[in-house]
Homo-oligomer: A and B are copies of this chain.
Amino acid sequence: MSVETPDLAFGEQKLLPAIAQDSTTKEVLMLAYVSEEAFERTRETGVAHYYSRSRDELWKKGGSSGHIQQVDEIRVDCDGDAILYIVDQEGGACHTGYESCFYRTADGEQVSEQVFDPDDVY
């Protein structure tokens, strides 16, 4: 069923938060930010792109580590100011080696698996 095509609020904010969720396990893998260019690049290539706020540049996730995200589906929220990438994650999403960046509870309990050794990758 088709509802209206979402308008995205890039105009006001330049960057929108984007959640990556694993298509198989449904684990939330990470939250990062996308520019309009990153969003369009993601749609064109089917591979997740973000905007690195620390490096101030377009960021192909996995460009250096090889841990790319193949994007199955892109969802947009009600207000058009948040994005959800549903992805097949190669390797682990987190630069620390965990499957998910959300590998800890607020109390410091580990809830995600370490799937690679960051010293081997970066």
Residues of A in contact with B (beta carbons under 8 Å apart): 1-6, 17, 19, 21, 26-28, 30-31, 43, 73-79, 82-84, 94-96, 98, 101-111
What are some 30 contacts across the A-B interface (CB < 8 A)? A2-B109, A2-B110, A3-B103, A3-B108, A3-B110, A4-B104, A5-B107, A6-B108, A17-B17, A17-B31, A19-B19, A19-B31, A21-B28, A26-B26, A26-B27, A28-B28, A28-B75, A30-B77, A43-B106, A74-B106, A75-B102, A75-B105, A75-B111, A76-B104, A76-B106, A77-B101, A77-B102, A78-B98, A82-B101, A84-B102
Residues in B with CB closer than 8 Å to A3 are 103-104, 108-110
